[in-house]
Amino acid sequence: MNDIATPPNPQESGGSHAPVPAQARLAVWFRVLLAVLFLLVVAGGTVRLTGSGMSIPHWPLIDYSTDPSTKEYSLLPPMNADQWQRISDVYHQEVIKPVEESDWLPIARVKKEFFIEYTHRAVAGLFAVLFLAVIVQVVLDAQARRSIGPMLLASVIVLVSQITLGGHVVLNHTHPLYVSVHLTTAFVFVSLILWMALRLGRPADAPEPERPPKVSRLAWAVTSLCLVQIFLGGIVAKTGAGKYWNTWPRMGNDGPVVPSAEALFIHEPWYRNFLESLLLVQFVHRWFAFAVLIGVAVLVAKLIARPLSVAGRMTLRGVAFVVVFQILLGIVTLLEAVPYSLGIMHLMTGLVLFQLLIALTFEVRNNPALLDYELRKAAKAAESNAREERFDAHAARVS
């Protein structure tokens, strides 16, 4: 008989309690924010994969001025041929800078890239309006302020940083480091919104553990590994490193699995290579994925026999499935030289995996049954050690 029997978990049966109505409504708002955020991240990934980030070289307003003495700024896309020509002129003269005017992109290509970036900005604007509405609701609700006020303030700070960084990316011609930090900050912001949605969705009288279970540290560590991999993926996307060495596991048809240090580190000082050596950029990203896989495997092994809610157990299975699918998708995307469709799907799956890890961490952090399990397991181990010590002492006296 198992001495560490799992007590009934009030969350296992789905729970008979419900969140406070006002908090339940707020939770719905936060889920809407998450849906728009998902679209925003995907739109941003599309911008990066299509190279459309500088197709609107002005931020936050679009400058249609042709005469320095007259300023013509607008939030709207070009409405006539003159405005489109102005966009094309600035794009080529200040951003692309082709040697000959005959090398300029066709106006149809300019329009396509423009509308990809414009859609990205429009979704960002929609999210800003919705987020402001949510902030107002939280400010007017005392209970919500107590529950998520500090985290909402943190999310506002992160969002302001993200917007500022986005403008810096545009105005400074998208350096790989800035682009990757911009992407990573977006994922951090998603995690804050998701955490608040989960917190608001908890029953008002749901018990909380006295302290986080030890296994929650592992959940946070694995989630952090995933975030590092996202950062590395942003560098790959910006530098275009994924379009080279499209074989696996070797890097090149006759190349090694692990290239030499001389091939990986070609710039001085050494740290520049993590942004500028395409071979190293791809090498680190392709193999760090397996660090995430190992972390997830350890986390699943730790949690699979422990008391989780029904939603928590489904999330655990989702994490295990999605991480394997994401790695396989990444390999296929690499072999196909990163077509837009697979690249965007790879980004979407990465976002899904990150959200599942955040949800699982929330479950582990706030499930009192997990702490109780750990305490009883520790007590049993202490009792077993005490019995062994008594036996050893008795055996010593007899001898």
Q: Is the pLDDT of residue 80 over 50?
A: yes
For the chain, the residue count is 399
Confidence of residue 392 (pLDDT cuts 50, 70, 90): low
Q: Note the pLDDT tens digit of each residue in 191-238.
A: 999 999 999 888 766 777 778 898 999 999 999 999 999 999 989 988
Query: Taking Cα atoms as reference points, which of 226, 356, 382, 224 lies closest to residue 303?
Result: 356
Q: Is the pLDDT of residue 44 over 90?
A: no
Domain ranges of the chain: 19-205, 207-399
CB of 246 closer than 8 Å to CB of 335 = yes
**CA–CA separation, 141 and 152 (whole Å):** 13
By mean pLDDT, which of 3-12, 71-80, 299-308, 369-378 is the weakest? 3-12
CB atoms within 10 A of CB 136: 10
Confidence of residue 10 (pLDDT cuts 50, 70, 90): very low
Q: Is the pLDDT of residue 396 over 90?
A: no
∠ Cα 42 48 54 (to 5°): 125
- What pLDDT does residue 1 have? 42
Q: Is the pLDDT of residue 16 over 50?
A: no
∠ Cα 181 183 189 (to 5°): 100
Confidence of residue 394 (pLDDT cuts 50, 70, 90): low
Q: What mean pLDDT, rounded, does the chain reach?
A: 85
- What pLDDT does residue 174 have? 63
What percent of the chain clears pLDDT 90, i.e. is strictly above it? 42
What percent of the chain clears pLDDT 70, i.e. is strictly above it? 88
Q: How far is CA 62 from the centre of its chain?
A: 29
> Mean pLDDT highest for which of 7-11, 14-18, 169-173, 335-339?
335-339
**CA–CA separation, 289 and 329 (whole Å):** 12
Inter-helix orientation angle 176-201/340-366, to 10°: 40
Q: Note the pLDDT tens digit of each residue in 244-253.
A: 899 999 988 8
Q: Is the pLDDT of residue 290 over 90?
A: yes
Please tell me the pTM assigned to this model.
Answer: 0.81
- Mean pLDDT over 137-162 rounds to 90
Higher per-residue confidence, 150 vs 169: 150
